[in-house]
Amino acid sequence: MTRRWRTLLAVSLIFLSAACTRKPGTASALKPTAFGAALVESSGGKQTGAIGTLLPQPLVVQVNDEQGAAVTGALVDFNGQASVTFDPPSALTDASGQVTTNVALGSVAGRYQLTVRTSTRAQKLVELNIEEIALGYQEQLGFQLDNKYCASCHDPESTPERVSNYDNLEVKPHPFTEGGTFNQISDDDLTAIISHGGPAINKSALMPPYGYTLNKTEIESLISYIRLVSDPPYHAPGTVYTRK
Ligand code: HEC
């Protein structure tokens, strides 16, 4: 082979492999070599991230057979609203039965339902629903303020950056995701307790006042953040919902 031909071959090989890795959207190109019976989430659900950006952690799911053993070579695909992107959008499970994808949420703040699918040997669809939360500008500010001022008491989990004070508190605050608690408190009462501390709404003085530390916009941002992450979801009073 002449040198010229060899170069040409190398170049076309590069093009070919680029074409293969760049276009995983052609799901039909992936042929499953095995089938599972169940889909389980390994990690990456219930994350919060800024709108239009990659979520901090990838989404990892696993395909298992009827006995609960991991299946290698099963086809998994990821779906969301049009504005959500997955990289890759579909893949075959690896040696540990898992598939990893990077998720970027859309440009509108809110809760995003993602659907993960695989099919059984008998072509029955198996689905797994996963929820992620996209924070808009205001909620993102609230999230940062939470990390800075509130999470040390309200989040029972410690992280590498922050040790939780939760276990030391005599009266236990609630994590902001606890809709059961926060959905009962009006915006006015949230503003009051954040500004003036626990006693403002007959709660413990272990909840400090932030009226001198945070301005009105910051307190509003914290409230919109709390409203967005609450589980079950918060329904603003007065909103009419269609029958299920
Ligand atoms: C030093 C610990 C501490 C910090 C920091 C703290 N809180 Fe609290 N918070 C508490 C405690 C304790 C309660 C529970 C009071 C009770 O139930 O009587 C509470 C209660 C609350 C409540 C009422 C709902 C609940 O969990 O019972 C809200 C709303 C609240 N805090 C918001 C905030 C916000 C927003 C921040 C950050 C700006 C913050 N807290 C920072 C300790 C803290």
Contact 133, 229 (CB under 8 A): yes
Protein residue closest via CA to atom 32 of ligand 1? 194
Closest to 84 in 3D by CA, of 29, 47, 139:
47
Task: Return the amino acid letter for 5.
Answer: W
% residues pLDDT > 70 (the chain): 86
The segment(s) of the chain belonging to CATH 2.60.40.10 are: 28-135
- Beta-strand pair 125-135/48-50: parallel
Say whether pLDDT at 231 is over 60. yes
Q: What is the pLDDT of residues 23-66, one digit of tens each?
A: 444 445 899 999 999 999 999 999 989 999 999 999 999 999 99
Model confidence band, residue 236 (pLDDT cutoffs 50, 70, 90): confident
How far is CA 128 from each of CA 32, 157, 160, rounded to the nearest angstrom?
Answer: 18, 27, 31
Higher pLDDT, 161 or 154: 154
Report CA(227)–ligand 1 centroid distance (Å).
Answer: 15
- Over the Cα atoms of the chain, what is R_g? 24
Rounded to whole angstroms, how far apart are CA atoms 160 and 180?
Answer: 28
Q: Is residue 147 within 6 Å of ligand 1 at its C-beta?
A: no
Model confidence band, residue 123 (pLDDT cutoffs 50, 70, 90): very high
Q: Is residue 196 within 6 Å of ligand 1 at its C-beta?
A: no
Model confidence band, residue 3 (pLDDT cutoffs 50, 70, 90): low
Is the CATH number 3.40.50.300 carried by domain 28-135?
no
Report CA(139)–ligand 1 centroid distance (Å).
Answer: 18
| Sheet (strand 75-79) strand order | 48-50, 125-135, 110-119, 75-79, 90-92
Q: To 5 degrees, how large is the angle CA 19–CA 20–CA 26? A: 100
Question: What does residue 111 show for φ and ψ, rounded to 5 degrees?
Answer: -95, 135
The segment(s) of the chain belonging to CATH 1.10.760.10 are: 137-229
Q: Which two tokens stand for residue 23?
A: 């276009």
How far is CA 51 from each of CA 55, 115, 121, 132, rounded to the nearest angstrom?
Answer: 9, 19, 37, 11
Q: Is residue 130 within 6 Å of ligand 1 at its C-beta?
A: no
Q: Is residue 190 within 6 Å of ligand 1 at its C-beta?
A: yes
165: left (phi over 0), alpha (psi -120 to 50) or beta: alpha
Instruction: For domain 137-229, give the CATH superfamily.
Output: Cytochrome c-like domain (1.10.760.10)
Model confidence band, residue 9 (pLDDT cutoffs 50, 70, 90): low
CA 2 and chain centroid, separation: 53
Span 84-91, average pLDDT: 96
State residue 32's pLDDT score.
96
Report CA(208)–ligand 1 centroid distance (Å).
Answer: 7
